[in-house]
Amino acid sequence: MRQQLKKFLPNHDTIRANRWLRPFEGTLLHPRLWHLNRHSAAGAVAVGLFCGLIPGPLQMFGAALCCVVLRVNLPLALLCTLYSNPITIVPLYVVAFEIGNLVMGNGGAHFTAPPEMAGMNLAAWIGEVIDWMAGLGKPLALGLVLLAALLSLTGYLAVKAAWRVWLIRNWRRRQGRRTAAR
């Protein structure tokens, strides 16, 4: 499993050679940010799933900061933020709003659809989206935090369990080969 994931990860020389990342070389080349084991993978998935609900283009930046602080696998965390994209963001926000609404006890509040971009330039549309999000208010904010925490915990536990199952299966396979060789 580790070998398959390592095919997609950049090595230290690639990071050192990138002129944009050179100022952060001391931080980004910490071995725990690139080491892949069950602890760093589970932590990275948790960080990626939590930071994936950060609004706007700050998802990967937030995930990178969390990885540096928590010392979990950086590339895997960045990859895990991609579950929220233009196709999935509205359903995720609807679920987050409903969770926040349920927890706050605001049974009467309803989710309104986001503004359409048709006929607007990007700046006007972004302004409309900000107004739309502000109108949703506290239930959305609370729901986003709770949904992010729930996804993060679920991802963490799922990776830990999957890695354990994989280890036990490989251990039993090796044990079976040893007994067959006798």
Global confidence as pTM: 0.75
Give the 3-state DSSP-derived string for 77-116, with helices as H, strands as E and coil as C.
Answer: HHHHHHHCCCCCHHHHHHHHHHHHHHHHCCCCCCCCCCCC
- One digit per residue, the tens of pLDDT, for the chain of length 182 reads 566 666 666 666 776 677 766 666 666 677 788 888 899 999 999 999 999 998 777 899 999 999 999 999 988 999 999 999 888 888 998 899 889 888 888 765 676 677 776 777 878 877 877 777 776 777 888 899 999 999 999 999 999 999 999 999 999 999 998 888 87
Q: CA 176, CA 182: separation in Å to the nearest integer?
A: 10
**3-class DSSP state of 2:** helix
Tokens standing for residue 41: 């993978």
